[in-house]
Chains A and B, each alone.
Chain A
Amino acid sequence: MSGQTRPVRVLRNLNAKIAAVPMILTTLVVFVGGTIWTVIYSFTNSKLLPKLQWVGTAQYERLWNNDLWNAAIHNLLFFGVMSMVFTIGIGFLLAVLMDQKIRFEDTFRTIMLYPFALSFIVTGLVWQWILDPGMGLQEVVRRMGWESFSFDPLHDPDTVLYGLLIAGLWQGTGFTMCLMLAGLRGIDEDIWKAARVDGIPRWKTYIFVVIPMMRPVFITTLVLVAAGIIKLYDLVVAQTNGNPGNASQMPAMYVYRYMFTAQNLGQGFAASTMMLLSVLIVLIPWAYLEFGGKKRG
């Protein structure tokens, strides 16, 4: 090993910069550039092709007067709230159960997590089949003798979102459990010892000590789940395709429809800008909590 040639400073930086070119292009051109482009064109009346013909906020007015969009937003809000409550609730409960020094922990984890490896398309299609009224779960219970049993969530506008929820929770709760379990395992053993010395029951320690301590984990999980829900697309396309009526339409489907099939780009841009806005509403307070105040190295 001869150590005579020290790397030249300019060249060293040059190499690193060349290596970072894909990242720089991605951030500047696609992430920043693409986002700004779409926001700008959402103020135009682009139809088949994007063109800079300003119409002010007309696209947004049209958007919020559109029944389909309002239905999609309503569905998203309902599904989102339900999904967050249950994902966090079930995820935490399972994590607590898994944290009781149980036997077969790895087996249970494998069982709970495997749906997360599967795509939303597979998830949607298999639950569509299980919830099939003519041959699925409902029919099985009926044939067992309970003739009036009715469980057909996917074909009733009032319950279709619960049908999606069953599938969504199946796919995602194992992952939440893993995040929560990592959080639980990160808690100092001494806390548990102190609680035991003080004679505090386990469940009380969970509620009053552990949950407050796990606040960052809960917040991170909530942000991840929320960001995922706003983008929700594949699951609905596979399981219900927005039916019955528009009872399971989602904003991402509205965007796709207007951008790629209805050839009304301006509407699609305005709708996707609203999606961005909703992500920012979730993200900015989180980023403030997470990064604000403390300096990161």
Chain B
Amino acid sequence: MADTVTPRGKRPQSRFTTNNIVLYGILGVMSIYYLLPLYVMVMTSLKDMVEIRVGNIFAPPVEVTFQPWIKAWSQACTGLNCDGLSRGFWNSVMITVPSVIISIIVASVNGYALVNWKFKGSEVFFTILIFGSFIPYQIMLYPIVIILRELGIYGTLSGLILVHTIFGMPILTLLFRNYFSSLPEELFKAARVDGAGFWGIYFQIMLPMSMPIFVVALILQITGIWNDFLFGVVFTKPEIYPMTVQLNNIVNSVQGVKEYNVNMAATMLTGLVPLIVYFVSGKLFVRGIAAGAVKG
């Protein structure tokens, strides 16, 4: 099919039909709605407070200043701590990296077992797992607090990492199960004939063949865990609050004069990691969320 000739040059029909004007008009207006907050965030974060008070929220800065970004990163206060969002950033890194790795390992092995090594009851557990992802987290919060306390990891990073691994499991397992079941079964059978065992097949055949789905899982988990707020609030202490929680505490704190430019710089900083993941990953992001949303 690669040699199909695609038409070159302009399309035959006029581009300025009423239909097209309405079509691109609506898309254009909607695009403004979607782009506006990002634009306002960036513009506000580059102005000083004097300019914000007298100026227009939509106007670009007359004099660009990076002071708000510096202040948001290293001086903004939450409670008595005035060491900026950098603390929350590093906390989020320490939460996200292990959570992402552990949850993906656990879920991929899980999905593999569900597809190729079915055992009695495995489908039942999987069904409960998927239904479990719809249960409001609120109903499981307190039992998890008790479990973490019994394990001695309540309020620690390890506790939160465990929680992310647990709640990442339904979507990731679904993702990996669907992907592994789309691989030809003959591969698996051939490997077994050749004497490969559970882990041998996983590491030598499944893993190398599934890199795309691992990337999808990576995208899904990095954005999901980075953006988490509820688990961060419930299962950690203020010193190890993730970035989202610290951001909310900085911006919505009632003390002092509101520094909108610093607030927007802080908001932008918090949104930067998922935004970079989004723009770098492109279509894989779409695939990830679609896979997470609709059963395959």
Contact = CB atoms under 8 A, between A and B. Distances in A.
Interface string B119-162: 10010011011011011111111111011000000000000000
B97 interface: no
A15 B200 CA distance: 11
Nearest to B116: A16
Contacts of B30: 90, 94, 112
Which of A5, A7, A287 counts the most chain B CB atoms within 10 A? A7
A207 interface: no
Interface in B45-60: 52-53, 56-58
Interface stretch (B69-77, B78-86, B209-217, B247-255): B247-255
Interface in B158-192: 165-166, 169, 173, 192
B274 interface: yes
B35 interface: yes
B144 A34 contact: yes
Contacts of A178: 286, 289-290
Given A119-B226, A252-B136, A259 B142 contact: yes
A275 B139 contact: yes
B98 interface: no
A137 interface: yes
B271 interface: yes
A120 B227 contact: yes
Contact of B244 (A4, A94, A121, A268): A121
A220 B294 contact: yes
B89 interface: no
Interface string A155-193: 000000000000000100011001100100000000000
Given A15-B197, A20-B119, A234-B230, A97 B143 contact: no
A252 B139 CA distance: 10
Interface size class of B (residues with CB under 8 A): 35 or more
A3 interface: yes
B198 interface: yes
B218 interface: no
A163 to B, nearest CB: 13
Nearest to B38: A114
B121 to A, nearest CB: 9
Contacts of A179: 290, 293-294
26 contacts: A1-B194, A5-B195, A12-B197, A23-B169, A27-B125, A31-B140, A50-B146, A97-B23, A108-B31, A112-B34, A114-B38, A119-B226, A122-B271, A125-B252, A126-B37, A129-B264, A130-B37, A132-B260, A175-B293, A179-B294, A227-B134, A233-B230, A252-B136, A265-B142, A269-B142, A272-B139
Can you list the 7 inter-chain pairs with the closest CB atoms, starting with the nearest?
Answer: A119-B227, A16-B117, A31-B132, A34-B143, A15-B198, A117-B278, A34-B140
Given A30-B147, A231-B136, 12 more contacts: A3-B194, A7-B198, A19-B110, A24-B125, A30-B166, A41-B142, A97-B26, A102-B27, A121-B247, A122-B271, A126-B41, A256-B234
